[in-house]
């Protein structure tokens, strides 16, 4: 599943972080089940590593004070994709400086729901915002690159069915089926570009099995990095 065209095909634009910590992100279209899975991966990992060693966070709004930006981005009615993209990146800049970078520096295992791949999938692939602008700003913020990204892939039809079952109605990002299709294809492209980092998980599989597979991959990476202590 690959999208080619004017978005370019460079690999990740952000930095590899040198710390012993581990930076894991969860990605996917709305209704892919990533929040539920991130929660169960957190609980399973915490049994092995202890909660002190772990940080569970999310974007947008995963920092003290970030709720205002989250509300503007999700509940608001922004007309410009430029405003939207810049606010997601601004939110990320605060999140990186306040939560992610300090956490990695302290050797923590960070589980983060949504990160840079969301901006590429939603704003760049979904809404045709220029990729180069996102990459330049991300480089300017020295956003650390995730060690591992789980892309929960589900068909749009399945995702929309789950959203309606959960909330009764989809929100402004979620109600646009063709947009979600472009976003899903965008994730496919990111996975194709960086197969070592972005792991596609079939989000229609049993959630317990998916969580076990994710925990095994994270533990393997932690051992490889020498961060198992």
Chain residues in the site for ligand TMP (CB under 6 A): 30, 58-60, 74, 88, 114, 118-119, 122-123, 173
What are the φ and ψ backbone dihedral angles of 218, each rounded to 5 degrees?
-65, -45
The beta strands (E) that lie in 3-51 are given as 22-27
Residue 89 beta carbon to ligand TMP: minimum distance, rounded to whole angstroms? 8
CB closer to ligand TMP, 108 vs 114 = 114
**Is residue 130 exposed (0-12), middle (13-18) or buried (19+ Cβ within 10 Å)?**
middle
CB closer to ligand TMP, 137 vs 218 = 137
C-beta atoms surrounding 11 within 10 Å: 10
Residue 219 beta carbon to ligand TMP: minimum distance, rounded to whole angstroms? 26
CB closer to ligand TMP, 54 vs 124 = 124
Taking CA atoms, 209 is separated from 45, 92, 154, in Å, by: 14, 31, 16
CB closer to ligand TMP, 88 vs 150 = 88
DSSP 16: P
Beta-bridge mates of residue 113: 26, 58
CB closer to ligand TMP, 123 vs 149 = 123
What are 123's two structure tokens?
Answer: 């704003």
What are 74's two structure tokens?
Answer: 């999700």
Q: Which residue is nearest to ligand TMP (CB)?
A: 122
Residue 225 beta carbon to ligand TMP: minimum distance, rounded to whole angstroms? 25
Residue 183 beta carbon to ligand TMP: minimum distance, rounded to whole angstroms? 8
Give the C-alpha separation, 114 to 124, whole Å. Answer: 15
Residue 10 beta carbon to ligand TMP: minimum distance, rounded to whole angstroms? 18
């Amino acid at each position: 599943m690959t999208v080619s065209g004017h978005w370019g095909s460079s690999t990740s634009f952000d930095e590899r972080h040198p710390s012993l910590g581990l930076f894991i992100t969860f990605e996917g279209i709305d209704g892919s089940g990533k929040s539920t899975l991130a929660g169960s991966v957190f609980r399973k990992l915490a049994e092995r590593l202890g909660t002190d060693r772990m940080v569970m966070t999310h974007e947008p709004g995963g920092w003290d004070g970030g709720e205002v930006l989250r509300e503007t981005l999700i509940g608001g009615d922004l007309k410009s994709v430029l405003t939207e993209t810049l606010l997601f990146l601004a939110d990320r800049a605060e999140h990186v400086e306040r939560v992610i970078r300090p956490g990695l520096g302290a050797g923590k295992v960070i589980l983060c729901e949504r990160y840079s791949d969301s901006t590429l999938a939603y704003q760049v692939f979904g809404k045709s915002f220029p990729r180069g602008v996102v990459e330049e700003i991300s480089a300017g913020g020295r956003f650390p690159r995730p060690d591992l990204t789980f892309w929960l892939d589900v068909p749009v039809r399945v995702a929309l069915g789950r959203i309606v079952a959960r909330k009764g109605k989809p929100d402004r990002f979620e109600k646009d089926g063709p947009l979600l299709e472009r976003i899903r294809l965008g994730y496919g492209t990111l996975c194709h570009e960086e197969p070592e980092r972005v792991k596609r998980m079939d989000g229609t599989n049993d959630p317990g099995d998916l969580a076990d597979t994710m925990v095994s991959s994270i533990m393997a990476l932690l051992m490889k990095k020498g961060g198992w202590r």
